[in-house]
Amino acid sequence: MEEKLNMPLLGDDFPELKLQTTHGEMDFPRDLKGSWFVLFSHPADFTPVCTTEFYSFQKHYDEFKKLDVKLIGMSVDQVFSHIKWIEWIKDNLDLEIEFPVIAANDHIASRFGMLHPGKGSNTVRAVFVGDPDGKVRLVLYYPQEIGRNIKEVLRAVKALQISDKEGAVPANWPENELIKDRIIIPPAKDEKTAKERLKEHECYDWWFCHKANKE
């Protein structure tokens, strides 16, 4: 019987799974509770595009760490393949991969919607951002032919953390063409507040007001 594709949706709890990684067993997402995390899948070890992605994720590792964000890679390759590939990256590219890589099977990959019909047995390039409560906050999917922009993943996590505290962030934040790195204030829900907004904040109109980013 074919297994149903179950892709976690925004706001969902991540599925609870026992996972084998290059750093040992992981009780997911329980072991990550209290921390933001980025779970990203790649089609296969020892492939050019995936190698460039792992290299870039590691190059930005310290930036993710400063945000208290943990990185976790994943594919359906076996753990010994992950270990050998990580050794190859260190020996040939002079870079040590510090984050764990999950050795998934088809069942685990399907729980994340990472196996798509028509794409063979490899996992697609999926990115899931999880919050400290283990909830799905962002989902990105890329075809196998296109490598991810790691700086965009980092920007998105920063934006999520700030929006939880301050409000919505604009397009291309923090370099928005209209309001730069400022934060959008949620629209007023009554006439009194709408009038007060125009006096209290910088606004294009009562429904489009913004404030300085405190972070």
Q: How many CB atoms lie within 10 A of CB 197?
A: 19
Q: Which amino acid is at 140?
A: L
E strands, the chain, in order: 17-21, 24-28, 36-41, 69-75, 101-103, 125-130, 136-142, 183-185, 202-205, 208-211
Q: Which amino acid is at 104?
A: A
| Phi–psi pair at 78, nearest 5 degrees | -75, 160
Tell me which residues are annotated as active site: 50
Helix (H, G, I), strand (E, B) or coil at 210: strand
- Report the alpha-carbon distance of residue 164 to residue 146 in Å, rounded: 30
Asked if residue 29 has a cis previous peptide bond (ω within 30° of 0), the answer is yes
Q: For residue 179, give the H/E element and its range.
A: none
